[in-house]
């Protein structure tokens, strides 16, 4: 897996010549975000744990005349993430990273059927390592490479803020991820937004909800359109996006 050649010009809404990093890009929201930002002119750097599905996304982006660099990387391993961001910083037309979408996440069990009372320690640990520590590693390793106008996004969901039975340590890990995002928002000059697209039809949700492409369009909007101060450290909801884009 590696870099592509030149791409045809597209309507880019300010993303042409930029570099975007998307973790967990082999399926679901991450895949659709990667395709969307590539369609709008960004050189997208994608990663996932599994090489085969990641290569399929890379091929699809290339076939659509997008520019992509794909790396197998595990966000639980900070050295993998460090290499990912270093590669991304050199991937585009100019040095540096313009957009980061810390999307990689896991859910062990069936959504809504994993109460804390019966949660395994292994599931708890991996939810926290992937969904919380993985976000921390992605944002932290991005810091040395961010351009002045960079934007960072952490996808999340209502279970991070509203107690719901049966979501166990997954909900706990997403609450931690949101706290991490707010901490980076306080410490960085660049904005860090938490994006809650609502329930999206992915393997993590059990297949119910809106199409992942709609969530990707929402994230693309957050990366390119709102005033940075309006999103920094804030939760951007699907309703707020729909209202702003009427």
Catalytic residue among 99, 107, 121, 170: 170
- In three-state secondary structure terms, 84 is helix
Order of strands across the sheet that contains 43-48: 67-72, 43-48, 19-22, 97-101, 146-155, 192-196, 235-237
Determine contact, residues 29/155, Cβ cutoff 8 Å: yes
141: exposed, middle or buried (Cβ count in 10 Å: 0-12, 13-18, 19+): buried
Report the distance separating Cα 219 and Cα 101, nearest Å.
8
Determine contact, residues 216/29, Cβ cutoff 8 Å: yes
**Residue 236 in tokens:** 């951007």
99 is catalytic: no
Report the distance separating Cα 161 and Cα 169, nearest Å.
13
> Cα torsion for 81, 86, 88, 90, to the nearest 10°?
-170
* Paired strand residues for 72: 48
- In three-state secondary structure terms, 90 is coil
Give kind and range of the element (H or E) at residue 147. Answer: strand 146-155
Determine contact, residues 197/17, Cβ cutoff 8 Å: no
The residues annotated as belonging to the active site are: 170
């Amino acid at each position: 897996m590696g870099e592509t050649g030149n791409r045809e010009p597209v309507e880019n809404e300010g993303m042409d010549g930029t570099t975007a990093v998307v973790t967990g890009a082999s399926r679901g929201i991450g895949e659709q975000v990667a395709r969307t930002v590539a369609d709008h002119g960004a050189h997208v750097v994608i990663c996932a744990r599994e090489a085969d599905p990641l290569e399929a996304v890379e091929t699809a982006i290339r076939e659509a005349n997008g520019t992509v660099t794909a790396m197998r990387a595990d966000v639980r391993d900070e050295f993998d993430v460090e290499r990912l961001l270093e590669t991304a910083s050199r991937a585009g037309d100019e040095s540096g990273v313009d957009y980061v979408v810390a999307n990689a996440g896991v859910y062990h069990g069936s959504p809504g059927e994993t109460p804390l009372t019966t949660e395994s320690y292994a599931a708890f640990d991996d939810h926290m390592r992937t969904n919380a520590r993985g976000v921390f590693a992605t944002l932290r390793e991005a810091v040395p490479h961010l351009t002045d106008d960079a934007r960072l996004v952490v996808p999340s969901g209502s279970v991070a803020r509203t107690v719901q039975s049966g979501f166990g340590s997954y909900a706990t890990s997403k609450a931690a991820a949101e706290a991490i995002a707010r901490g980076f928002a306080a410490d960085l000059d660049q904005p860090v937004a938490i994006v809650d697209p609502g329930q999206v039809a992915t393997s993590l949700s059990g297949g119910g909800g809106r199409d992942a492409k709609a969530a990707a369009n929402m994230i693309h909007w957050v990366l390119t359109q709102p005033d940075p101060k309006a999103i920094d450290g804030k939760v951007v909801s699907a309703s707020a996006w729909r209202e702003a884009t009427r």
